[in-house]
Chains A and B, each alone.
Chain A
Amino acid sequence: MAKHSIIDPVDRIEGHLRIEMEVKDGVVSEAWVSGGLFRGLELILEGREPTDAALIAERICGVCPISHCHTSVYAAEEAYGIKHPNGARIVRNLAEGAQFMHSHILWFYQLSALDYVNPLHALEADPKAATEFALANGLGVRDFGAVQKRLQKFAENGQYSWLSGGWFLEGQAPEAYKLPAEVDLIATAHYIEALDMQATADEIAALIGGKMPHIQTSIPGGTSFVPSVEKLDDILDRARQLHEWVGEVMIPDAIAIAKVYLKDVAGIGNNKHGNFMAFGVFDRESRELTDRYFPAGIVRMAGGTGAPVLEKYDGSKMTEETTHAYYADDGKPLHPMDGVTVPPEKFPGYYKDEANEVVNDKYTWSKAPRYLNDATGKREPMEVGPLARVLVSYMSGNPEIIDGVNTVLKGVGLPISAASISALNSALGRLAARPIEAYAVSGYMQDWCHELVEVLKNPGDANPWFAKRVRDDGAGEGFWEAPRGALYHCETIKGNKITHYQAIVPTTWNISPRDVDDVPGTIEQGLIGVPIDNIEAPINALRVVHGYDPCVACAIHIVEPKTGHEFKTHMSPWGGR
């Protein structure tokens, strides 16, 4: 008999997410991913000025506000018929870079590490042995004795605070935690240090944008931030510090953890469609999407395991539809430029009627975005995110990313081959992608500081930071990347007021529900085949889901009851299909 396993809420993510899985013979056979919050931001933006819209759209997500702001600003600039000047381009790259650094560090340690690291097990470590292990394996050496003392005090008190109910605790799934006590101690020391490093990255964003989250200086036309030499110094100093730290601490930690968990993480979370998509991020002077530091493109692996093939990206092939989402439109796939957000009159939840039949099969606030594959003629789900970006960059020949990928492959003992690249379509690849990117980005950031010094020296005749708009009517699209993946905003303006606004955020691609043909979304596919030993604490599933770092306030969404409930008849708890 199939059993249901539910994680709700999924935490250590941004927002409200629910995962329901059907488990047969110890593995996930089907999954439903559901977003639990409706805010209707697109509706709020209509009727407003594009500059206001950018600053409001930024609030779509407090984890990646800068990315939303920038994508909205790109859409506005296209509508206004302008391009932001070169100085603004570099300033925005720096702000976005800070956002990536902050987000990747926070994800790796605060949001993801507790799926692999057991901070309480660190109490059993011998600090001296930990130091020796760290030295031998190139992990950042710290005063592990002091960290352990601090943890000891914490544990003796008996309140587990934010560790309350952790799955590494007795009675949950402690057997799934496999690190030696010394590595747990090292990683916990770095977990605490990472809190400081992510704040350092945010300081860069604040220096440019006033505060973070929610910077205030990126606006249509350019930036209102004019760098001074002192501020550039402050930024450069922090970028350097971050670059060193990622190289000395984060990448070695990723390798150390991945090595121990290799069998667990390399074999789970393979998205079966094998489609990866990036819109590209960090502009060069050409402003071409394919010329970006992390370029736009699509990588396909046939059946999810085939050799990776690079394709060009075409924005006109995107659609969104709402067959299984709570919205009240007719569910027809629409390009976002024509897209609609129609909240229902009544909440159409999955209520059962008196005969215990499910009333409808709408189960999420997330729409279902799809991308037309010319080869199959079908609209297919795509995976977006750091892994997609890394794959596209790798296949496009970005030297920093190639270096990073090869370092990690070597570190965990995999050969450098096409098959190994395909093996990254897993929780392993998603674990490794962020440290790899963080190292590259913090390197670029130092270059950008120097480029800005050049702009300050030779500003040219035109204002290098801000360009005025040349029209009040038009339409525009913004293609960019948030740390968690490809991001798109579009808007139409009339008399400098927005008449139409839509956004497709990265998480919507990843937590997409089934579409009109019943094809499951990316995480729904990625969960299939994941081994579940304990349906009360399905740790492997959580590892897979965290790999996508869903950022759900962005994607909007939902929920349902207690763990371990057995379902007998319904294919889907919501859809008696």
Chain B
Amino acid sequence: MKDSFIESLESRGLTRRAFLAFCGSIAAAIGIEGVTGIDVAEAIEENALIGTNGGRGEGKLAPVVWMELGSCTGCTESFAQADDPDPATLILEYIALNYSETLSAAAGYSLEESREQTIKAFPGKYVLVVEGAVMTRWNGDALRIAGEATCAPGESPLLDVCKNAAAVIAAGSCAVDGGFCAAEPNPGGACGIQKYMADNGVNTPVVNLPTCPCNPATLVAVIVQYLLLGTLPQLNEYNMPEVYYGETIHDNCQRRGHFENGEFVYEFGSEEEAKGYCLYAMGCKGPQTKANCGTIRWNRRVSWCVDAGAPCIGCASGDPRVTQRNWIDFNAPFLNRMKDIHIGSLRVQPTPVALTITGVLAAALIVHGIGMKAAGRTEGAGGPDWEPVREYDKKHGITHGSAAAATSEPAEKAAAEVSEGGEQ
């Protein structure tokens, strides 16, 4: 590495050693075989502002436009929780964040101008991050920015910025498929950016990064990979990076061992919770939700939902191709034990799941049944959800269904629900 480069690192209080460690962590996050920390280091030196070579147009920073649509701003907030690189480094040394409604210094006309200039100056070269859902109701008047219906069908400021981007990153579940904004009855006509673009004949590549909000580590890894290597991660059928959305929460859960042992939490705040038992019985959607929360964790890796005692509510499970399949309607009621498990487009009862698919989940469900039996919590054969009423529940007055259920609800009713095959 060149001396001037080292010097510029040192001016930021970063040693060469720490820098290489950081590059290693980026390489790991990107997860491409053959890409090492050294490659990342070289790419940074080539391209980023802290380096000495390279160049993009007049400045060296890669332009990024961040569009906020129908959202709660939680994904911008989440972005501010990134580290490695932290947001200050990103906006000072990596990217030119030319338009962000939350972070930009400019306001009003000056801000709009900045976005338009970016489109003009870097057609096909900037990365567009979309936060929030496209709000289509009233011909796009459900969301107006700067005097225009932002998401109008056909030509619109949004379509314009999508069309000219090198790539569109849908950050967070709302941008992927409408998210919570699209939950029944979808009052604002929310949908994801991929569907909006497809409906309007724009085919800029889309990378979908669900979860609510977007996990900053995942988002930053994708941006950095694109900026440094010029590539997008390998995507699955949902246009989600396989490396981050390839395995279920359940696959990598820290409480998995308890699941295998049939050790479950049956009441919040109980001794079992204090011991960190499995939250499956409290409605955890981990077995059907594909995301990397358990490994990448949240907020600079201090925790994640299950670590804190919250069952997974499946905020990553959406389908960008369908408006109405948002994660809320897919998973609610959140605290009800799953009667069905959804794997991709398959929707099956746990027993057939165990029979029809192979691999860890199936094995786990079988082990689970055995574990439950060994723990004396079930009678006869069967796993967690194909028993009409759990022995443990009967003894402790817990009815099937909502984990926080009133004790008065008759167990028979719950059993009847099961035999009717009621939804969730």
Contact = CB atoms under 8 A, between A and B. Distances in A.
A59 B143 contact: no
A43 interface: yes
A225 B75 CA distance: 24
Given A51-B333, A62-B72, A203 B406 contact: no
Nearest to B11: A149
Interface string A250-285: 000000000000000000000000000000000000
B97 interface: yes
B144 interface: yes
B223 to A, nearest CB: 14
B303 interface: yes
Contacts of B274: 226, 228
A38 B404 contact: no
B402 A62 contact: no
A65 B61 contact: no
Interface string A553-564: 100001111110
Interface string B1-28: 0000000100111000000000000000
B226 interface: no
Interface stretch (B29-37, B104-112, B316-324, B358-366): B104-112
Interface in A468-511: 468-472, 496
Nearest to B75: A62
Given A206-B299, A220-B404, A553-B72, A62 B77 contact: yes
Given A199-B81, A212-B298, A217-B309, A48 B73 contact: no
A61 B269 contact: no
Interface string B82-102: 010011100111011111111
B74 interface: yes
A19 to B, nearest CB: 8
A206 B406 contact: no
Kindly name the residue among A15, A36, A165, A214 whose own CB sees the greatest number of chain B CB atoms within 10 A. A165
Contacts of A202: 81, 299
B162 interface: no
A225 B305 CA distance: 10
B267 A466 contact: yes
B183 A16 contact: no
B58 interface: yes
B74 A62 contact: yes
Kindly name the residue among A39, A40, A344 whose own CB sees the greatest number of chain B CB atoms within 10 A. A39
Nearest to B50: A153
A40 B105 contact: no
B61 A157 contact: yes
Given A223-B269, A469-B404, A553-B71, A9 B306 contact: no
Contact of A63 (B73, B139, B270, B303): B73
Interface string A151-178: 1011001111111111110001000000
A48 B404 contact: no
A210 B95 contact: no
Contacts of B268: 219, 221-224, 465-466
Interface in B378-397: none
B70 to A, nearest CB: 6
Contacts of A161: 61, 91-92, 95-98
A466 B68 CA distance: 37
A10 B111 CA distance: 9
Contacts of B113: 165
A143 interface: yes
Nearest to B172: A62
A36 B305 contact: no
A321 B337 CA distance: 41
Nearest to A145: B11
A304 interface: no
B144 A563 contact: no
Interface string B173-189: 00000001101111110
A51 B336 CA distance: 11
A215 B93 CA distance: 31
Interface stretch (B145-153, B193-201, B237-245, B250-258): B145-153
A516 interface: no
A48 B204 CA distance: 37
A55 interface: yes
Contacts of B343: none
Contact of B106 (A11, A43, A143): A11
A63 B50 CA distance: 31
Nearest to B275: A226
Interface string B49-60: 110000000111
A164 B104 contact: yes
Kindly name the residue among B63, B68, B298 whose own CB sees the greatest number of chain A CB atoms within 10 A. B298
Kindly name the residue among B107, B273, B299, B334 whose own CB sees the greatest number of chain A CB atoms within 10 A. B107
A39 B87 contact: no
B46 interface: no
Given A208-B308, A210-B306, A562 B188 contact: no
A536 interface: yes
Kindly name the residue among A160, A168, A172, A472 whose own CB sees the greatest number of chain B CB atoms within 10 A. A160
A207 B405 CA distance: 27
Contacts of A239: none
Contact of A38 (B112, B137, B180, B267): B137
A208 B146 CA distance: 39
Given A165-B111, A347-B141, A110 B333 contact: no
Nearest to A163: B105
Interface string A1-43: 0000011111111111010000000000000000011111001
B72 to A, nearest CB: 4
B76 interface: yes
Given A210-B306, A465-B268, A44 B110 contact: no
Given A207-B308, A211-B299, A216-B308, A36 B145 contact: yes
Interface residues of A, number: 114
Contacts of B407: 468
B92 A154 contact: yes
B111 A162 contact: no
Contacts of A390: none
Interface in A335-358: 343-344, 346-347, 349
Contact of B108 (A6, A213, A220, A470): A6
A198 B293 CA distance: 21
Contacts of A146: 11-13
A150 B61 contact: no
Interface in A184-199: 192, 195-196, 198-199
A500 to B, nearest CB: 15
Contacts of A11: 100-104, 106-107, 111
Given A39-B188, A167-B105, A8 B72 contact: no
Nearest to A19: B108
A334 interface: no
B74 A214 contact: yes
A61 B108 contact: no
A113 B101 CA distance: 15
Contacts of B112: 9
Nearest to B407: A468
A449 interface: no
A107 to B, nearest CB: 11
A234 interface: yes
B180 A59 contact: yes
A464 B271 CA distance: 11
Contacts of B99: 164
Contacts of B406: 468-472, 496
Nearest to A467: B269
A33 to B, nearest CB: 14
Contact of B273 (A154, A226, A560): A226
Please give me the 9 A-B residue pairs with the lowest Cβ-Cβ distance, nearest first: A62-B74, A40-B187, A465-B269, A165-B106, A166-B105, A216-B310, A159-B59, A210-B305, A165-B110
Interface of B: 8, 11-13, 49-50, 58-61, 63, 68, 70-78, 80-81, 83, 86-88, 91-93, 95-114, 135, 137-139, 141-148, 180-181, 183-188, 190, 212-213, 267-270, 273-274, 282, 293, 298-300, 302-311, 313, 315, 328, 332-335, 402, 404-407
